[in-house]
Structure 1
């Protein structure tokens, strides 16, 4: 089932999400619905707060990004071939590498894209959908998408990484999004 994505201004997007246990009600169906929602919205990641659940859960599929690249583009991201995975109760162990800029967008903040600086690698402790524990390091575009989704479960948005001046300049657009004055081709829920 395709779920509604909450828009900028919704309070759930600013909450620090809670860890869950293996007996979280309807977890398998929720994960299935998150994949369906993400693909229907042309996303590469989706976090539970974006579908109005304040839990530490997100899904990422960066493999599709690499499927659409030519060999020269792929060569820009050595050691990163993409990933499709579920992350439950993720917690950052370490951020490393130089910060680099990439143009990011967000399904909860449609029609706004900005260059964001993030570290090139992240090491996470997390559980997969079978609640098996992992500690892994991710790099390149995959690390970036993971960090973007991780921000969501920590109550942060990609615009928080921008300068105060840039945020001030986009205030009108953000207000329009929160009031539902935007057209998107996926289902959204607006605050209020």
Structure 2
């Protein structure tokens, strides 16, 4: 059986959308066209995620308002999970809720304690339209929830509360890319 190429090796690194860009704050559209253009998008998303040393990337983070995300993320047992989901739905987010550090390629250099469940299940299809169901625990569950949030127009900073939220807003205002992207 021929080996599949490593994701992202033939992709183009695209420009990252940063906090404040309207595409990050709008719900993404369902993907209806499957074919070479979608395959190219997925490949470019992997290349961009790897270039920025991320563990997940949603299409709107590169300015594309479609429901697609890619991931290359370990769980808490250091099992590596690599793949993509088109038209994902978060069907389960349960178990214990943990406050853990969370960052985002669209808020470079920052992180804040964010509450997430330690188990998540996402259903959707792959770029060929075949059904996929991904189950994750620990850090990988956090990644799945984070990427599904992106496609709904939510960034992790929207989930941070209290003193952590005030500190994060201050850090965003001080970031070279963050001037004017946050109120409060």
Q: How does the TM-score come out when normalised to structure 1?
A: 0.79
Match of 2:133 among 132, 135, 141: 135
1:85-121, Cα deviation, whole Å (9 max, x unpaired): 1011001112110111221111100121112111111
Q: Which runs of 5+ in 1 are unaligned?
A: 67-76, 183-189
1:171 Cα deviation after fit: 2.5
1:150 Cα deviation after fit: 1.0
Q: Which residue does 1:185 correspond to in 2?
A: none
Q: Which residue does 1:96 correspond to in 2?
A: 94
1:129-167, Cα deviation, whole Å (9 max, x unpaired): 221012342212111111111110011111122114432
Match of 2:172 among 158, 171, 174: 174
Q: Which residue does 1:34 correspond to in 2?
A: 45
The number of equivalent residue pairs is 169
Match of 1:147 among 145, 148, 154: 145
User: Over aligned residues, Cα RMSD in angstroms?
Assistant: 2.2
**Given that residues 100 and 117 in structure 1 are in contact (C-alpha distance below 8 angstroms), is that contact kept between their aligned partners in structure 2?**
yes
Larger RCO: 1 or 2 (CA < 8 Å, sep 6+)? 1
**Given that residues 59 and 86 in structure 1 are in contact (C-alpha distance below 8 angstroms), is that contact kept between their aligned partners in structure 2?**
yes
Distance 1:14 1:164, change over 3 A: farther
Match of 1:59 among 56, 70, 78: 70
Q: Which residue does 1:118 correspond to in 2?
A: 116
Aligned-partner SS, 1:111: coil
Q: Which residue does 1:23 correspond to in 2?
A: 34
Q: How does the TM-score come out when normalised to structure 2?
A: 0.82
Match of 2:19 among 8, 30, 33: 8
1:39 Cα deviation after fit: 0.5
Q: Determine the C-alpha separation between the residues in 1 that align with 2:43 and 2:28.
A: 20
Q: Which residue does 2:60 correspond to in 1?
A: 49
1:45-95, Cα deviation, whole Å (9 max, x unpaired): 110010001111000001xx47xxxxxxxxxx35x7221010110011121
Q: Which runs of 5+ in 2 are unaligned?
A: 1-11
1:36 Cα deviation after fit: 0.6
